[in-house]
Amino acid sequence: MEPRDDLTEDQKKAYAANEADFDGLEKQLRSFDETANARLTATARRFDPDAQYCYRCPCDQYEGIEHRCARDTCGHSRISHHGFI
Ligand SMILES: [Zn+2]
Ligand SMILES: [Zn+2]
């Protein structure tokens, strides 16, 4: 990211605070994904890491372009298939 000189001190502080919050949140979400994956792996539900399987049900492919999987048996969110990060 290019350093910017045209920001006020308040604006710089706001960005720095946001950066810290988002960084912390992304770390939490990544660990959440890892936990979800580890649970499935521990019960021999192993998947291709590139596949779009659902963490919440046995659906193995996200269907559709809406916010929810179009499969009748699933219907979970896109995040449920891809993870947060
Ligand atoms: Zn699905
Ligand atoms: Zn599902």
How far, in Å, is the centroid of ligand 2 from the Cα of 23?
28
CA–CA separation, 55 and 23 (whole Å)? 23
Q: Is the confidence at residue 56, as pLDDT, over 90?
A: yes
Ligand nearest to the CA of 55: 2
pLDDT tens by residue, 62-72: 998 788 999 99
The percentage of residues in the chain with a pLDDT greater than 90, rounded to a whole number, is 55
Residue (of 84, 80, 81) closest to 27 by Cα position: 84
What stretches of 1-85 adopt beta strand conformation (E)? none
pLDDT tens by residue, 21-48: 999 999 999 999 889 888 988 998 866 6
Ligand nearest to the CA of 78: 1
How far, in Å, is the centroid of ligand 1 from the Cα of 42?
21
How far, in Å, is the centroid of ligand 1 from the Cα of 59?
5
CA–CA separation, 13 and 78 (whole Å)? 33
Q: Is the confidence at residue 18, as pLDDT, over 80?
A: yes
